[in-house]
Amino acid sequence: MSKMTLGSYPHMLGFEQLERLLERTAKTGNEGYPPFNIEQTSDFSYRITLAVAGFAEEDLSITVEDRQLVIRGRQHDDGADRVFLHRGIAARQFQRSFVLADGVEVGEAAMENGLLHVDLTRSRPETVVQTIQIKKG
């Protein structure tokens, strides 16, 4: 049996980009760290919250490239000159990726009590009606 693609459906024209987007989303490779929430804050806005306890603002970076929101964290291991009897809190790095739909823009980001909040807004879709004239041949 062959794989069905969006191009296989004759009434769905121009959706090749959506198919590539779905493939890219499946390959983001996000692990389970750090945990995060996504909440809808209004009809046209969202908030992504990541639990980033132990990270300072300068340890975090937020970028948007090619409709993909990427949040990275890199802690500096300052334990080289310290002697640990038990080390259960490791300095680690992470990368979380979120694919954004067309019209979704990243707003502001804020740190609060070990949580990183990233606000997103979606533009309201415009209803466009277009009449096409038929040429006489």
Please report the beta strands in 11-130, taking only residues with DSSP state E, as ranges in sequence order.
36-42, 45-51, 60-65, 68-74, 93-99, 104-112, 115-122
Using CA atoms, how far apart are residues 15 and 66, in angstroms rounded to an integer? 17
pLDDT, block means (10 residues), the chain with 137 residues: 63 70 63 90 96 93 93 80 83 90 94 97 89 90
Tokens of 130: 């277009």
- Express each pLDDT in 94-105 by its tens digit: 999 999 988 999
- Domain(s) labelled CATH 2.60.40.790 in the chain stretch across 31-122
* CATH architecture assignment, domain 31-122: Sandwich (2.60)
